[in-house]
Amino acid sequence: MAATGHASINSRDGVSTLAGRWPLLGQRRPLVVYLCAIVGLDLIAMVGLGASTSLRWRDLLMFCALMGCGAVCIEATRRLGMPSGVARDLLSAWWLPVALLLPPVYALFSPIVLQILLQVRVKATVLYRRVFSSAAIGLAGCTASLAFHHVVDDPWSLSQGGGGPIFYAVGAAALFALLNIFLIAIAAHTADPETPWREVLWNKESLLLDIVELCLGVTVSIGCGVNLVLLLLALPPVVLLQRSLLHAQLQAAARTDAKTGLLNAAAWQREADTEIVRSRRTGDTLALLIIDIDHFKRVNDAHGHLVGDQVLVGVAATLRNQLRDYDVVGRFGGEEFVVLLPGADSHEARRVAERLRTRIGHMAIPADDALIRITISVGVALIGVHGDDLIELLAAADLALYRAKELGRDRVCVPAVQPPRQL
């Protein structure tokens, strides 16, 4: 499932110390209110539904069997670790059968069991994130369970293979996925309002994973209804898929800067080298930008490093939104970013650099009841004009960036081209 990102922490005296002990207190007030509301609603649903649900051994046995499969799945992939930030898993293969086959109150408790196991056995993270994830998944599963039980009188009829129950099960699974994504997306957008909704909702890959989870969950539900022993046949392929998914996420994380989500310096250099070789082979134009946040140290000194991190995240989000999918953008270290623009000539490179400078200059980062505004300086270099390989282009762009700072910052500069020597 998904997890919310980290937001800024105020650096005022006393507040930052308290926030260090209780990280939730350091988040934006709307985010704190939202997280507490979701957790509170989850607790209310537990008490209300728990009081009206009678305990049956058959239900308890199935719940324990499904949670046991989830635990085996977690243990089998534990040594792989878990990528930082938002991570995806296939634990819905066990949560969905709980929601479809058992009374709705079990759907509220099932994520708690596996989230505790993830926290203890895989990766300890900030506790409020685990609590919120459990509440969001629980509420989504409970809602899907209530909807399914409302239209299907006997949930166990799902195992008979009738078209109606299967159709409603698929609809309930889709409702579960939609609600879970929606609840997590609201938290992510509240933590960072500058992030566009399309970035915190779905992309092509996450949609495909949701479809896979939906299919697995419904299939496991049908198998459970036939015979609990069939879980032993469902467990190995789910474990294999889980390992493959985590391995792919860890590979992607190794190429990504943890704070900004952009390519890290090593990954960017590899991709940039590939583009430059292609450009030299085909004769296409190509431009390189080095972007530096002006007076970034002042932001850290005045507002704290966590607010500085929020500035970096905001700049990275603006770069992603303003650049093409095939442009190569990365964080070069500190407050410097690098962008490779395949197919861009001098005019296009200047136009893109000025657009980035303008958009970032309009950003407003909230901190200490004030808004932080920043500017950037940009150095531009062109292949075939300022250099023919990555080292030469970086050196030329860095020289132009230095010139932009000398001229007062908040501007775009291109290095002068030395005229050819006369023989």
At 82 the pLDDT is: 59
Q: Is the pLDDT of residue 19 over 50?
A: no
Per DSSP, the residues of 239-306 read HHHHHHHHHHHHHHHHTB-TTT-SB-HHHHHHHHHHHHHHHHHHT--EEEEEEEETTHHHHHHHH-HH
CA distance 340 to 72: 44
What is the distance between the terminal CA atoms of the chain, rounded to a whole angstrom? 67
DSSP, collapsed to helix, strand or coil, labels residue 60 as helix
Q: Where does the pLDDT of residue 87 fall: very low under 50, low under 70, confident under 90, or very high at 90 and above? A: low
Question: Crossing angle for the helix pair 204-226 and 231-254, nearest 10 degrees?
Answer: 160
* 30-60 pLDDT tens trace: 888 999 999 999 999 999 999 999 989 999 9
For residues 2 and 208, which has the higher predicted lDDT (pLDDT)?
208
CA distance 255 to 237: 28
Any idea what DSSP says for residue 413?
A: E
Q: Where does the pLDDT of residue 84 fall: very low under 50, low under 70, confident under 90, or very high at 90 and above? A: low
- Altogether, the residues listed in the chain come to a count of 423
Of 337, 354, 369, nearest in space to 8 by CA: 369
CA distance 237 to 243: 10
Tokens 């140290």 belong to residue: 297
Please tell me the pTM assigned to this model: 0.64
Domains of the chain and CATH, by start: 23-253 (1.10.1760), 265-413 (3.30.70.270)
Vertex 363, ends 188 and 305: CA angle to 5°? 65
Of 233, 49, 51, 56, nearest in space to 156 by CA: 56
For residues 236 and 248, which has the higher predicted lDDT (pLDDT)?
236
* 108-146 pLDDT tens trace: 999 999 999 988 888 777 788 889 999 999 999 999 999
* H-run or E-run covering 94: helix 92-101
Q: How many CA atoms lie within 13 A of 350 on its CB side?
A: 6
Tokens 């949930």 belong to residue: 155
Vertex 206, ends 169 and 215: CA angle to 5°? 25
Residues 199-204 have a mean pLDDT of: 64
* H-run or E-run covering 204: helix 204-226
Number of helices (H), then strands (E), in the chain: 15, 7
* 161-201 pLDDT tens trace: 788 899 999 999 999 999 998 998 888 878 777 666 666 66
